[in-house]
Amino acid sequence: MPTMRRLGAALSAAFMLSACGSAGGDERELGSITVTVTLSRTGPPGPSLDHSPIPGISVTAISTSQRSWSASTNSEGEAVLSIPPGEYDVDIGYCPDAPQHVEVTAGARASTRFDCLAP
């Protein structure tokens, strides 16, 4: 019987410790960034590409502590990243106006746009 009591006491202690640990964790409210990536044409007249959405582009937000979050643009050329509040450099890798600096606030949505030039 002493073994059963010890097991019961150990399980009770583990349950109480796990409940205490989750009550005051570092769970801050998230904010978000909506990133829009479009394509514009330069040069002689041709098919209109001005501000055409680019799907499937990898978007990365890097915090000041060098932690990163990534998403891909949808068919509308938009990606949404839900991330902790703070300052981020948002990059798509190949657009001349990348990276862009964005500040995220808890419970709010920031936005930025990359308008890439077609060759």
Q: Kindly state the tokens that stand for 29.
A: 């409210």
> What CATH number should be reported for the domain holding residue 78?
2.60.40.1120
CB 74, CB 56: distance < 8 Å: no
Looking at the domain assignment, is residue 25 inside a domain? Answer: no
- The count of domains in the chain is 1
The rounded distance, in Å, linking the Cα atoms of 16 and 12 is: 6
Task: Tell me what pLDDT residue 100 has.
Answer: 94
Give the pairing type, strands 86-91 and 58-63: antiparallel
4 pLDDT higher than 60: no
Is residue 82 in some structural domain? yes
Taking only the tens place, the pLDDT of each residue in 60-99 is 999 999 999 999 999 999 999 999 999 999 999 878 778 9
Q: Is residue 4 part of a domain?
A: no
Please check whether residue 102 is in contact with residue 90, taking contact to mean a CB–CB distance below 8 angstroms: yes
Contact by Cβ (8 Å): 81, 71: yes
**13-58 pLDDT, tens digit each:** 444 433 443 333 345 799 999 999 998 876 556 555 678 899 999 9
Within-domain flag for 2: no
Q: Which residue range(s) make up the domain with 73?
A: 32-118
Q: Is the residue at 17 inside a domain?
A: no
